[in-house]
Structure 1
Amino acid sequence: MRVVGDVAYLLPVGGIEICTLEDTAALAARGHRVDLFFGLEGEQRRLFEQAGVGLHGPVSFKLTRRTPIRDLLGFLPAIRTVRRLKPDVIWLSRAEHVVWARLLAFAAGVELVTHLHHAPSSPRTRWLTKGVARFLAVSEFTRQQWIAAGVPGDRIEVVHNALPPGRYPVGGEEEQRAARASLGLPTTGRVITFYGRFSEEKGLPTVLEAFRRIERDDVHLLLAGFYPPQVDTSEVRRAVESLDPARVTVVGPESDVIPFLHAADVVVTPSWVDEAFGRTIVEGMSTGRPVIGARVGAVPELLEGGMERLLVPKQDADALLVAIEAVIDWRDAEPELGARCSAWVEERFPYAQHLERVESVLQHFVRG
């Protein structure tokens, strides 16, 4: 099967880009030809090319009200390329690129399958998505958002995100010591990890407030990530800088987040906004750590049925503090919890099943 898709950035800026890399690499490993148009160059080019994924670009995916004719003309290079590639199906990773993808599908004479990694962003969603043969939503929560926007429910299938085997390995005490040494963290005591975007929407102010209220001296906070450039993060910056540097370590983003996770006793991700999936939850739990998340978006969907105690109300530092204190000493009080966390991910979000379903849907819409 020959698949053509999109990736906005050749950078690990978020879950969509990481999922696209993992899934296209896996499809290529199964013998399919995968080509991606990209918008911005970045460090993941090497990983895509090593996986045998073809890259074309940079291209523009945008269609704006201000310059629609110029934007449509900007799609012509991609249209010429897709005719040469002769795909069997178009697989879109970002629904906001749907006009671009519909034109490519029309030019190539193939069907369009669109992955739904986030909420609808246009009031004209129903009209814009009429040319899509099937949607794959990363959660039931996301599926319901798109149904509410006017997309028929029978055209949307839920395929939960999943992690390739071995990508986020379990880390025991030896791995924890090594990770802490590499990051300059205390070798003893407990570590709380927050990683990703340093912003209000990801709940960092809630983390900082809860941490301030911890009265124990043996608890350290690891903040790993970056301040998003398009957002005013001045208040978050001041809050981080006001913390005792002896109890907090701040490091920049890395494509390999395993040391951040292995160093931790507990991971926190108390988002203020609805999460379409909540990849941080499954990444952290896969490594054998409890991950505390806010009861927003699809996060309850990931933890329901046995891990609800790791859910807290959003923007509630008191509840987050209680949840942290309840699990931070799990290695002594509940030593089986780490194994239960990793088994939870393996059993509920198996990657083989995820990939087989994506592959099956794409193959179903291959014409002829």
Structure 2
Amino acid sequence: MRRKTVIQLLPALEAGGVERSTLEIAAALVARGDRAIVVSAGGRLLPALQALGAEHVTLEIGRKSPLVLRHLGALRKLLAQADIVHARSRLPAWMAWLALRGLRGARPHFVTTAHGLNSVSRYSAIMTRGERVICVSNTVKAYWLQHYPNADPARFTVIPRGIDPALFPHALHPDTEARARLAQQYSQLGGQGPLLLLPGRGTRLKGHADAITLLEGLRERGIDARLWMLGARQRGREAYLQELQQQLQGKGLQDYALLAEPTSTMPQAYAASDLVLQLSRKPEAFGRTVIEALSVGRPVLGWAHGGVGELLAELLPKGAIPAFDQEQLAAAAQALLASPPSLPQAQPYTLRAMQEATLMLYDTLES
């Protein structure tokens, strides 16, 4: 097979799902001998990208300013070398589209990925102009086709995100050693009752208030539950954290819940827990927490909307609760804790499957 040059475009290489997927595809391209180039403003993941053997071109193509257009000439010259141009964000997609229009002769194939449920606008519509539009879930595909009825459904394809199961190995339940280590470090997470884990950054959209209400409901039912809100404690979120602390104190729950900083050891965090929560107030495009937790062997309870609802309906229907119904949430949590359900034995959403499907899509365009 002829060596391909694939150029991926995104605003920057900071932390996030878009950035992670970019590196994962770059790794797969390099592994099979293709040339992988990423165009962005750079960021803390740049060394990791370069360590894979991929190339990076620094252009601020995600800067929302008229000055961004000054990069069109350099970008056009770069894209002329490509077989595939893959835009992963709206402004970089516009930049790529404008640059490609100015090319003479044969043009590279243009691919976009709809990573999220973006606002509906002419600006967002650029993501529907790819020869192929990759959607990270059926939820995302349905959303974009609903709001952009002139888009050609035949160009849309679903390639879900995935994880490396080796990084999220199955852990016996209960993992008493992991829980004991955690209790030694944080007294609020001790006791003999179940540990609820809500991973997520410190924003109201992640549903921390709903998790606190759930904790209150379980304790009122006589269950010595504890709540670990992992990732909520972040710089710049002090006012929100104070609000959550006041909510805990008002309910008398301050000794049974912990607002913690993010961790780099999520598999161990899942292993120490008994039930993982995914309570985002806004529908999410995918639901990585769901597949990570299930891979470790922990049930997940979440609102049945967006990509999270889609995954739970397929993998653990008992964990899918009508959005914002606190009574059903508490009842389902009690049932799952009393009788842990059987979980999928095989992980259907793997990193390898995502990489192979994406590279196959590239190959199909080139054939």
TM-score normalised by the chain length of structure 2: 0.83
Shift of residue 291 of structure 1? Answer: 0.9
Query: Which residue number in structure 1 is paired with residue 69 of structure 2?
Result: 72
CA RMSD of aligned residues (A): 2.9
Quote the Cα distance in structure 1 between the aligned partners of 2:68 and 2:235.
25
Quote the Cα distance in structure 2 between the aligned partners of 1:255 and 1:107.
44
Checking the alignment, whether the CA contact within 8 Å between 2:245 and 2:254 is kept in structure 1 is: no
Shift of residue 359 of structure 1? Answer: 0.6
Deviation readout 1:61-114 (Å, 9 max, x if unpaired):
245xxx53x22114444444445xx22111122245310121344567311111
Q: Which amino acid aligns with 1:116?
A: A
5+ unaligned residues in a row in structure 1: which ranges?
none
TM-score normalised by the chain length of structure 1: 0.83
Checking the alignment, whether the CA contact within 8 Å between 1:15 and 1:279 is kept in structure 2 is: no
Checking the alignment, whether the CA contact within 8 Å between 1:276 and 1:298 is kept in structure 2 is: yes
Q: How does 1:18-167 map to 2 (within 5 A)?
A: 18-42=20-44, 44-57=45-58, 59-63=60-64, 67-68=65-66, 70-83=67-80, 86-106=81-101, 109-124=107-122, 128-129=126-127, 131-150=129-148, 151-167=151-167
Quote the Cα distance in structure 2 between the aligned partners of 1:187 and 1:40.
45
Q: Which amino acid aligns with 2:70?
A: L
Query: Which residue number in structure 1 is paired with residue 209 of structure 2?
Result: 205
Q: How does 1:1-368 map to 2 (within 5 A)?
A: 1-12=4-15, 14-42=16-44, 44-57=45-58, 59-63=60-64, 67-68=65-66, 70-83=67-80, 86-106=81-101, 109-124=107-122, 128-129=126-127, 131-150=129-148, 151-172=151-172, 177-178=177-178, 181=181, 184=186, 185-186=189-190, 188-215=192-219, 216=222, 218-226=224-232, 234=239, 237-243=242-248, 244-305=253-314, 307-329=316-338, 333-334=339-340, 337=341, 340-343=342-345, 346=347, 348-366=348-366
Shift of residue 32 of structure 1? Answer: 2.4
Shift of residue 159 of structure 1? Answer: 1.4
Checking the alignment, whether the CA contact within 8 Å between 2:90 and 2:124 is kept in structure 1 is: no
Q: Which amino acid aligns with 2:230?
A: A
Distance 1:296 1:46, change over 3 A: same
Deviation readout 1:276-300 (Å, 9 max, x if unpaired):
1111111111111111111111223
Checking the alignment, whether the CA contact within 8 Å between 1:2 and 1:89 is kept in structure 2 is: yes
Shift of residue 203 of structure 1? Answer: 1.6
Number of aligned residues = 349
Bigger mean CA deviation after superposition, 135-144 or 54-63: 54-63
Distance 1:220 1:227, change over 3 A: closer
5+ unaligned residues in a row in structure 2: which ranges?
none
Shift of residue 130 of structure 1? Answer: 6.5
Deviation readout 1:252-304 (Å, 9 max, x if unpaired):
12344222212211110112112111111111111111111111112232122
Quote the Cα distance in structure 2 between the aligned partners of 1:130 and 1:265.
41
Task: Give the % identical residues.
Answer: 21
Quote the Cα distance in structure 2 between the aligned partners of 1:126 and 1:196.
26
Distance 1:307 1:217, change over 3 A: closer
Deviation readout 1:232-270 (Å, 9 max, x if unpaired):
884564123542443222221234422221221111011
